[in-house]
Structure 1
Amino acid sequence: MTLPPLTLHLAAPRGFCAGVDRAIKIVEMALEKWGAPVYVRHEIVHNRFVVDGLRAKGAVFVEELDECPPDRPVIFSAHGVPKAVPAEAARREMIYVDATCPLVSKVHIEAARHHENGLQMIMIGHAGHPETLGTMGQLPEGEVLLVETAEDVARIEVRDPERLAFVTQTTLSVDDTADIVAALRARFPAIVGPHKEDICYATTNRQEAVKAMAPECDALLVVGAPNSSNSKRLVEVGARAGCAYAQLVQRAADIDWRALEGIRSVGITAGASAPEVLIEEVIEAFRDRYAVTVRPVTTAEENVEFKVPRILRVPA
């Protein structure tokens, strides 16, 4: 039987970023150093395949610190945690390792610096996302106002419009965030922004790759988890860039083949917490059904690497 032809546009960069790579390495090194179980507060990264793999090695995932026994190490997820969490771990004399992505930590430091200078903070982010909770939790309650949309900017009540600064979640849509920043600057001309863009290099690069290939694709599949902010943004970016069918899939088993009937070209990318093995699984699923030609779409080269915390680099 002759398989129908299909062009797969494969985005590069895609998948793991340096912060995710570091966070996973931290859990693996902690298990090597202290043995199982090692506790992890919240999913280390938002990907079920990764989390299940670490769980099989002896990681125990919990949502709150009080679920951890005081005599076992605990790791804080890549998304960051409120300031009160490491303070409580220290009070309980626990061994803890902070796997917060250094680019998220940079936002935490910015927020603290602006607070010390007497500025009220506005955070652009998604309510309830662990990164947003972690960043807002760096400052006393009420010191950070959250906006999710440009419309929110018109509704917020600030203490002093002349004494404001803003930070953003690192995994947002670049274009949506630009609209919100424009609304903030229009309403509060004196507002202070970050020295350097808060949206991380990996989020920006993955969105640029999707924008480059979306107009060429009949469909776009983003490999990622439904609770992954940067993965969901890739779907939105693809749809906005001209791809008629853009969907998030966790694995090849989630692909809706009926929706893809008659297509000639598909774009494939992956969120920053999706491992390459899942992307390969999706490509193989297409090879089973089509005569596939893979066309790489490369818009940036990434060579960023972050060191693991010192506690893991010294002998026990």
Structure 2
Amino acid sequence: MQTAAPSPKPRLRVLLCAPRGFCAGVVRAIDAVEQALALYGPPVYVRHEIVHNKYVVEGLKRKGAVFVEELDEVPEGPAPVIFSAHGVPKSVPEAAASRNMFAIDATCPLVTKVHREAQVHHRKGREILLIGHARHPEVIGTMGQLPDDAVTLIETAEDARTIVPRDPDNLAYVTQTTLSLDDTAEMVNILRARFPNMAAPHKEDICYATTNRQDAVKKVAPQVDAMVVVGAPNSSNSLRLREAAERAGCALSVLVQRATDIDWERFGTITSLGVTAGASAPEVLVEELLDAFAERFELDVRSVTAAEEDVFFPLPRALRPDAAE
């Protein structure tokens, strides 16, 4: 008896967002851990996840990195202690110095820029409004640069409408680097209308990588039936990508950490798919996702580019080849 030929797989047009995945700050932070391991051997301690991605963190653990939430989990000794890309409150390096720790700061330079802006505004006597998400490590780090009453957090448009500053004519604002462009613009517009003398950043605080990845999603989302964002559920920039796709008109927009997280029943009838990855998600996970879709669909893959990126940040000084000179 002749067996029936397998039915052909349905065709699926895949639009790959570009840029996607690792940004320069994430590359620098991961390289910092790997370089510290190469120079000093394990263990290398890292305060908080170096970047918000389980795959990356688990890979570094296998190489000898030890992740802790607080410095009191680090034993006495010469092992390096690295601060994550998100930045830390001033109290953390001060505590490390008091214990004579070999501390290496892998804070993204664009986050450090926000810290410095806030410090300058504070020195000028301005009350600072920080647009961001409570409990996010970057926000905790930025607020922790200054005394407790120096910074007021603005999380929503309603916060922007109702904030009552001490002196409406002596304000400045800064933002988290990984926010929704649209949400932030709405809050800034409300604040500017209420406080026209409010000082603004010299250059936008939302980083180039966040901006470019959201712009790419906005180009692709209206053209596809579904969008998959590869990223972690605690990654702010990844969450914002999923939201951006939804707002841009994509009927199905999901965030997954790995291909194994996909609920295939939701993707059974699609004919087009957008794919992107948060700034802390490695490209290998995008490839894994595409392989999973290729098992079920005949893929026609092309790239949609919103911007070209060539940003590079050097390693922290203690890890550079000339550090001992």
Q: TM-score interval w.r.t. the shorter chain? A: over 0.9
> 2: CA distance between counterparts of 1:158 and 1:41?
34
Q: CA deviation at 1:189?
A: 1.4
Q: Distance in 2 between matches of 1:81 and 1:132?
A: 9
The separation in 1 between residues aligned to 2:124 and 2:270, in whole angstroms, is 56
2:61 to 49, 52, 55: 55
1:251 is aligned to 258
Q: Deviations over 1:43-81 (max 9, x none)?
A: 000000000000111111111111112312110000000
Q: Following superposition of structure 1 onto structure 2, how do residues 153-302 of structure 1 map, counting pairs within 5 Å?
A: 153-302=160-309
Query: Could you say which residue in structure 2 is the equivalent of 1:133?
Result: 140
How far residue 32 of structure 1 moved from its aligned partner, in angstroms, is 1.1
Aligned to 1:42: 48
1 CA distance for matches of 2:40 and 2:268? Answer: 51
SS of residue paired to 1:268: strand
Mapping for residues 55-74 of structure 1, pairs under 5 Å: 55-71=61-77, 72-74=79-81
User: How do 1:16-31 and structure 2 match up within 5 A?
Assistant: 16-31=22-37
Question: How many Å separate the matches in 2 of 1:200 and 1:132?
Answer: 14
Residue by residue over 1:170-191, the C-alpha shift from the partner in whole angstroms, topping out at 9 and shown as x without a partner, is 0000011000000111111111
Q: Which SS does the other structure have where 1:27 is aligned?
A: helix
Distance (whole Å) between structure 2 residues aligned to residue 243 and residue 65 of structure 1: 43
Q: Which stretches of structure 1, 4 residues or longer, exceed 4 Å deviation after superposition?
A: none
Matched with 1:5 is 11
3-state DSSP class of the match of 1:8? strand
Runs of at least 5 residues in structure 2 that lack an aligned partner in the other structure: 1-5
Deviates more, 1:156-165 or 1:25-34: 156-165
Q: Tell me, yes or no, if the aligned pair for 1:231 and 1:248 is still in contact at 8 Å.
A: yes
By how many angstroms is 1:295 displaced? 1.5
User: Residue 279 of structure 2 aligns to a residue in which SS?
Assistant: coil
| Contact 1:165–1:191 under 8 Å retained in 2 | yes
1:306 aligns with 2:313: yes
Aligned to 2:172, the other structure's residue is in SS state strand
Matched AA of 2:72: D
| TM-superposed deviation, 1:156 | 2.1
Task: Let me know the Cα RMSD of the aligned residues.
Answer: 0.9
How many equivalent residue pairs?
A: 316
Assess if the C-alpha contact under 8 Å between 1:166 and 1:194 holds in 2: yes
The Cα of 1:315 is off from its aligned counterpart by 4.6
Query: C-alpha offsets along residues 105-139 of structure 1, whole Å, 9 cap, x if unaligned?
Result: 00000000000011010000000000000000000
Q: Extract unaligned runs of 5+ from structure 1.
A: none
CA contact (8 A) 1:70 1:93 kept: no
Q: 1:176-211 CA deviation, whole Å, 9 max, x = no partner? A: 100000011111111101000000000000000000
Amino acid at match of 1:65: L
Q: Between Structure 1 and Structure 2, whose CA radius of gyration is higher?
A: 2
Q: Contact conserved, 1:120 with 1:159, CA < 8 A, in 2?
A: yes
Letter in 2 for 1:121: I
CA distance in 2, matches of 1:249, 1:93: 41
- Written as runs of structure 1 = structure 2, the 5 A alignment for 1:74-85 is 74-85=81-92
Opposite residue 117 of structure 1, the aligned amino acid is: K
Structure 1 residue 151 corresponds to structure 2 residue 158: yes
- Residues in 2 aligned to 1:266 and 1:229: alpha-carbon distance in whole angstroms: 22
- 2:3 — aligned with what? none
Residue 299 (structure 1) shift:
1.1
TM-score by length of 1: 0.99
